[in-house]
Amino acid sequence: MKVSKRKASAVLCLLLCVGCEPLIPPRPPIEGQQAATAAAQGPSEQGALAGGQNSPPPTAVGDSAKDAVPGVVGQEAITEWFEGPWGQWYLHRRGGKVIGVTHFDVDKVLDRPLQTPNEQQVDYTRTRSMLVEQGSLRFVRSQTIQFREAEDGHVRQFQLSDQAGPIQNRLTGTCVRERLNLSIDQSGQQSRQALAWSPKTRGMFVAIESLRRRMVEVGEIRRFQFVLPSLQEIGTLQLECLGDASVPMFDGSYQKLREVEVTTFRQGVKDQLVVHWVNDQGKILRTLDPQQHVESFAVERAQAELLFDPPKEDQWLIDLNVSKLNLDPSEPSPSEALARQLTLFQKTNRLGRVAYEIQLADEGDPSDANSVHKQLFTSVPSLPGQQVRHTEGSCQVLIQQWDHRGLIQTTRDERDKQTFDVDTEQAFAVPTQWLDANATVVGNWSRLLIDQPSVSDVLDLARRMTNQLSLELQGPFQPASAVLSKRKGGTIDHAVALAAILRSKQIPAQVVFGIHRSTYQGRLGDYQDQAANGEVFSVTSVPLNEQTQAGQPAVAPKVWAQASAWVLAKVDGRWVSINAVNAKLTTPDYLCLIVPQPEEDLHAAYQRFFRSLPGLTFDLRALFGEGH
């Protein structure tokens, strides 16, 4: 009996489909481009990114919009109980580069509350470190959020600690009957706020809790009233299970997971869409945030700590552009010459002079002369050893090496030029809030200095001070007396302590802010490229135009500068620049950008410095060895 080709094809397709469950095709990888991402997404996901923003949230099955109740599925109210203690690490990746790590720690509270001694409470703690890239500036933002809840999910209190550079924010929320009391501290500016509160309102991590407490079924919709990520508003969160999907994981393997769209509504309008993929225990193994172009993967702690290698929390890195570095045109291999120069810059102190060029990263509105980065750009100080020349659109700075006596080679005009006026010099010897030179412990240190000390005497005192102080990560600003009493502090704390001791001796001194070379060579400098044979490789370096014999681009070490603070002091009739951490005169790579005015608060100046850096670009233009 003959069978037609059409029937045979139909039978074959039927046989292939028998016993196979339909899977949602894998979502496209994040390419870092909004348009490419939106084009590859389904209709529901596109609606969260563009268009459909004003559409109201769909109601749960059988509910009307006005009567929708958090946690209701159909007409049945479901109580979800605590899933038990657990912990999980996540790696965050953008464009193939790891940019952060998150740790969830969930456990019961040992001490019962006095108000409700029979209630068992649970702490949900999320600790997150994310690399932030703003222009040429790179730094780590650290955030800890903790929600304390009853076992059935009712929120009792929550708190936030957020550190981004010198900007520190804290928030505490306490639920009292039908009111949420908020206490907010934004970099020392304190305020209070009260919001209407419903007992049905859930915490910020309700999506994670709900998925772990009860497995979501295909087609199921769950809606909750919850605390928005800002922690200062109440919104609506919707979970919708789309079905099973084949999902690529961090190690390149594929897993069959359940795909859940989580939509956030703020004041009835779509605000954010995130996609979770969960296993049959409700554990989130992968997350996609299409708006931020970030994907997250569940990993082991060791893998998270190995792959996320950021700068220290108090270390702000500046991407130094080396493409304009002047090289000897007679060099047979520019790449080798550049690598040799950058190695000299990074690993030795044998530098006689260093030349920088500073430019505005984005001109923006030409009439906006009050922006912080333009103010810094136009006011880079001319100091002994630091010559500044402004041209149209750029600021060129040449920095010279100090010798062992604290002297530099200068012209007669430069020697005769007064660095600061008399009033400013006198003000730099007066105690302030942070440089509390009149404190007893500061005075005790100043008595170790002879009257009219030389530069060598001051450096000897600085060495004795640093030997007594333990160096730690820079925390919140503290007065010099506190630093010397605790005998520990960060880079700024060391500078504050030394400047206060000098002021106590009536020596004009000020803490200044700027940048200098960094020895950081972590994965922040990684980039991926492709060789002629198609092999992808990753290096901590910068690519050059030349090609090697293997077809790979020639590379030179990646160069970073880091923001820091040091001391400018007038010793023995001359202004010198002192590194308070190693008790030495600064090297020529130390570029001073801000000398705070006598009446300016040091902490405010530090924040102004931090906000200015993203709007500037820094080019390394020339390096000169000793004797040049």
**Cβ distance 513 to 477 under 8 Å?**
no
Amino acid at the residue 619: D
Residue 132 · residue 310 · CB < 8 Å: no
pLDDT at position 61 is 35
> What separation in angstroms does the CA of 598 have from each of 105, 399, 424, 476, 581?
46, 24, 7, 21, 23
pLDDT of residue 501: 97
Q: How far is CA 214 from CA 55, 152, 207, 241, 455, in A?
A: 28, 13, 11, 13, 70
pLDDT interval class at 40 (50, 70, 90): very low
CA distances from 588 to 322, 348, 388, 401, 577 (A): 17, 12, 14, 5, 10
Query: Which structure tokens are listed for 479?
Result: 């007065």
User: Residue 196 has which token pair?
Assistant: 């209407």
Coil, strand or helix at 566: strand
Q: What is the spatial distance between Cα 618 and Cα 514, in angstroms, rounded to a whole number? A: 12
Tell me the two tokens of residue 153: 């999910």
**In angstroms, rounded to a whole number, what is the distance separating the alpha carbons of residues 169 and 162?**
5
**Cβ contacts of residue 100 below 8 Å, gap of 6+?**
91, 92, 128, 129, 130, 131, 308
Element (H, E) at 515: strand 509-518
Q: Residue ranges of the domains in the chain?
A: 73-307, 317-625
Separation of alpha carbons 616 and 603, rounded Å: 21
Amino acid at 53: Q
pLDDT digits (tens, 9 = 90+) for 447-498: 999 989 999 999 999 999 999 999 998 988 999 999 999 999 999 999 999 9
What is the model's pLDDT at position 434?
A: 97
Q: How large is the C-alpha radius of gyration of the chain?
A: 30
Residue whose entry in the numeric block shows the structure tokens 């020529």? 588
DSSP of 476-495, one letter per residue? Answer: S---HHHHHHHTEE-HHHHH
Give residue 560's identity as a one-letter amino acid code: W
Helix (H, G, I), strand (E, B) or coil at 441: helix
pLDDT given for residue 355 in this prediction: 93
Residue 596 carries which side chain, given as an amino acid letter? P
SS3 460: helix
- Kindly give, in sequence order, each residue whose CB lies less than 8 Å from that of residue 391, ignoring residues fewer than 6 positions away: none
Three-state SS across 327-391?
A: CCCCCCCHHHHHHHHHHHHHHCCCEEEEEEEEEECCCCCCCCCCCHHHHHHHCCCCECCEEEEEE
372, two tokens: 């912080």
Q: Buried (b) or exposed (e) across 386-416, using 16+ Cβ within 10 A?
A: bbbeeeeeebbbbbbbbeeebebeeeeeeee
In sequence order, what E strands does 199-233 have? Answer: 221-227
Task: Return the sign of the alpha-carbon dihedral for residues 482, 487, 490, 494.
Answer: positive
Say what angle helices 491-504 and 455-468 make with each other, to 10 degrees.
130
- Structure tokens given for 489: 């502090």
pLDDT value of position 33: 36
User: What pLDDT does 367 receive?
Assistant: 47
Instruction: Round to whole Å and give the CA distance between 482 and 103.
Output: 33
> Alpha carbon of 331 to those of 335, 338, 564: distances in Å?
9, 10, 35
The yes-or-no verdict on residue 100 having pLDDT over 90 is: yes
Pull the structure tokens for residue 384. Answer: 């002994």
Q: Which of 143, 197, 151, 141 is nearest to 170 (CA)?
A: 143
Q: Which residues pair with 77 in a beta bridge?
A: 72
Question: What's the whole-number mean pLDDT along residues 74-86?
Answer: 69
CA–CA distance, 246 with 577 (Å, rounded to integer): 60
Asked if the model's pLDDT at residue 551 lies above 60, the reply is no
Asked if residue 99 has pLDDT above 60, the reply is yes
Q: What is the pLDDT of residues 146-184, one digit of tens each?
A: 999 999 899 999 999 999 988 899 999 999 989 999 999
For residue range 179-192, what is the model confidence (pLDDT) as tens digits? 999 999 998 789 99
Sequence-distant (6+) residues with CB within 8 A of 33 are none
Which pLDDT belongs to residue 540? 52
Per-residue pLDDT, 555: 60
Domain 317-625 has CATH 3.10.620.30: yes
Token pair of 527 as six digits:
């980039």
DSSP state of 614: G
The answer, as to whether pTM is greater than 0.85, is no
